[in-house]
Amino acid sequence: MTEEYARQVAEILASEKRPSDYRPQPDEQLELFIVDRREVTSTTSVTGIERAQLDAMFRGSDADDILANGFEGDGPINLEVARVVDASERDVYRLWGMDFGGIYLIDADSLNVVAFASQHDVEHWSCAQRPVFFAMDQAIQRGGHGFRQPHKWCWWDDDHWAVVASKPPGSMYSEPFIRTQFAVTGP
C-alpha cells in the first residue's frame, strides 16, 4: 500500500458525515485510546497473546513468510498492531491492520474477534458492536496514535443497524468464517 493511497482513503473516510442521533446508553459508553502502534515484520516482535492472534489470522500459513512476502509473493503486507486501552489505561483490545483495509479488533487477552474489516469497511455483525464502533471511531478520529491503515467504523448508518438487528446471530458477512478460523486450536 502506498502512502498516497492510504492518505486518500483516510481523507475520504474522515470526511463522511455521521447523520445519526445514536449515542451509546450510559451503561454502554466506552472511551478508548489507540496506543503503542508498531509495525510487525516478524513473529519474534510480538507478545504471547499477539502471536496466538497472529497465528489464528494466518491459520494454516507460515506467518513469517506472509509478513515478508505477502499472501501470494506480492510483497510485505505492512502489518501493524496497536493496543486499545480505556481511560484507566487498561488493555481492552488489540487493533491489527494490514494493506488494503484488512482490520481485526480482538479482545486484548484472547482470540475473541470483536470486529473485522476488509476493504477498509468494518463489518456489522451484531447490534452489540455499535457502542464499540462509536468508541473506536472517536479513537481513530482523535489522531496522534500513528495507526496508518484507514478504516471505517460505521456506527451512524441507522438503516444498516436495523438490518443487522433482524438477522440471526452469527450469520452476518464474514462472521461465521472468522469465528471458525479463530476457534480452531493447533496449527
Domain extent for 74: 31-183
- 1, part of any domain: no
- 22, part of any domain: no
Taking 90 as the threshold, does the pLDDT of residue 184 lie above it? no
**Percentage above 70 pLDDT, the chain:** 97
- pLDDT for residue 81: 98
Q: DSSP for 78-96? A: --EEEEEEETT--EEEEEE
Residue 11 corresponds to which amino acid?
E
Taking 50 as the threshold, does the pLDDT of residue 187 lie above it? no
Residues 7 and 17: their CA atoms lie apart, in Å, by 18
Q: 15-34 pLDDT, tens per residue? A: 888 889 999 999 999 999 99
DSSP H or E stretch at residue 137: helix 130-142
- 15, part of any domain: no
Among 37, 117, 25, 148, CA closest to 83: 37
Residues 186 and 95: their CA atoms lie apart, in Å, by 23
How many domains is the chain built from?
A: 1
Q: 113-170 pLDDT, tens per residue? A: 999 999 999 999 999 999 999 999 999 999 899 999 999 999 999 999 999 999 999 9
The verdict on pTM exceeding 0.85 is yes
